[in-house]
Every structure is written in structure tokens, then in C-alpha cells.
Amino acid sequence: RESIKEKARLRLREFDVGDRFSHLPLPKASVLLPLMVREGKLHLLLTLRSMQLRRSPGQVCFPGGKSEAIDKDEIDTALREAKEEVGLQPEKVEVICRLVPGIDKMNHLVTPVVGFIEDTFQATPNPDEVSDVFVVPLEYFVKPLNYKTLPYKTSTGYLSRMHCFIYDDHEHKMSFKIWGLTAHFAVFLALVIFGKRPTFEVDYDLDDLISSSEKNFMNLYASLCKRKKSNL
């Protein structure tokens, strides 16, 4: 267990962006990517959003949300939101790093914060926000059984592809659809940790994952700025 964690920690620290993107003038949000070791393998905890939420009801996502004035940084935001949504106490998370952010459809700068949690963690979902909590083997995001790609136009008019995974959870006896920014972060996390080629196409140079991921993000950000200017 410790050697699996240690290997993952070392890989993740190489990809830690710290606060390098924190200065960008976009509204901020963070998500926590909670990793655990179960049956000798890394697993990722995900949530199913409540049907009564206004935004993206019934969709799979990571615990997270918008930054608030009380948050010191993106890590604080992710930990506070995880506590509010699934009852995960901040001191029970071993925070490892922040990865390259993404931009959601509301044009928030979303920072993924990666941390280890114990496999014994029992979630207590806040029913106003979360209807279910489940775990997926991290390897599923490089070697899926049920995968398709959805063509998609970003808010900036940039043509891209979106990963879409269907995961059959035997514990819950149901299937979960994981797509959008959530799938994007899960795939990147799996690429970083396993360092191997996925069974599907990705928009990265896999021989230079660090700079190609940062370049992709900066292109997306630049096209957003360009569109904002042309709308003025």
C-alpha cells in the first residue's frame, strides 16, 4: 500500500503547479480528486450531484465548488467543499499537489487538488448537494471497458473532443456516466500516475505531458480572452 502511494506521490509532485495559475483574472473554483488504495489498487472517489441542484443536476463530479472569501487558496476551497458535500474532514486528507487547471462552461478557473484519503472513509453525503458517492479504479481512466468520445465546442468556439466513460458499479448496481471536465481531470490524473498510453486518443504529447498540458490550457485561456475582447 505504501509503495503504491509513494510512487504516486513522487509522480504527482513532478506535476505540481502550485499557485502558478492563481493570478489569472477569472472567477475561481476548486475540486478535490480524492485517491485511496483499495485491494492493492488506486481508486478515485466521485459524487453524483443531487437532482435538485440548478446547475448540472444528476451529473458525476468531484467534491468541489466556488472559492469563498474565507479560503486562503485553491486547496482550502477544495477541502472546505469536500467537508460540506461528503463529510470528509480536512485533516483526513493528505494533500499532494495542484494540477493544471481547467475552465468550466461558466468560465470559472477550476483547480484540481489531489489528495490521499483512507479507504475506510465513510461518506455522509449532504442530500442538498450530493445524491451518491462511489469509487472507480483509477486505471479505468486509461483502460476503460465502455468509452466514447463526444465532439464538443468549447465556450470559446474551439473544437475539441470530450471523454465520456460509462462505469458499471457493482456495489451500487448502477451505471455512472463520467464526462466533461470531471473526465478530463480523471484522465490527466491517470496519465500522470501511470505514465502509460491510454487505449483512446488524448490531446497531449505523452512524451512531454507537463508542457503539453500547460500549453493546451494556455491556448484555451487565450481563446477565452480573445472571445471576451471581441464581445466588448
C-alpha cell read off for 70: 474565507
pLDDT mean by block of 10 residues, the chain; 232 residues: 90 97 96 97 94 73 96 97 97 98 93 97 93 96 95 71 93 93 97 96 94 94 83 66
pLDDT at residue 153 in the model = 75
CA 209/CA 211 separation, integer angstroms? 6
pLDDT at residue 158 in the model = 67
Residue 102: strand pairing partners:
110
DSSP one-letter code for 148: E
How many C-beta atoms surround the C-beta of residue 82 within 10 A? 29
CA 143/CA 162 separation, integer angstroms? 16
pLDDT at residue 1 in the model = 67
C-alpha cell read off for 23: 493570478
Q: Which residues contact 130 (CB under 8 A, 6 or more apart)?
A: 47, 48, 49, 50, 63, 85, 86
Catalogue all structural domains in the chain, each as residue range(s) with its CATH number: 4-231 (3.90.79.10)
How many C-beta atoms surround the C-beta of residue 140 within 10 A? 18
Query: Is the CB of residue 147 less than 8 Å from the CB of residue 164?
Result: yes
Query: Is the CB of residue 86 less than 8 Å from the CB of residue 127?
Result: no
pTM exceeds 0.75 for this model: yes
pLDDT at residue 155 in the model = 62
- Residue 33, Ramachandran bin (φ over 0: left; ψ between -120 and 50: alpha; else beta): beta
pLDDT at residue 168 in the model = 96
CA 167/CA 139 separation, integer angstroms? 12
Residue 169: strand pairing partners:
174
User: Coil, strand, or helix at residue 90?
Assistant: helix
CA 96/CA 103 separation, integer angstroms? 22
CA 115/CA 100 separation, integer angstroms? 15
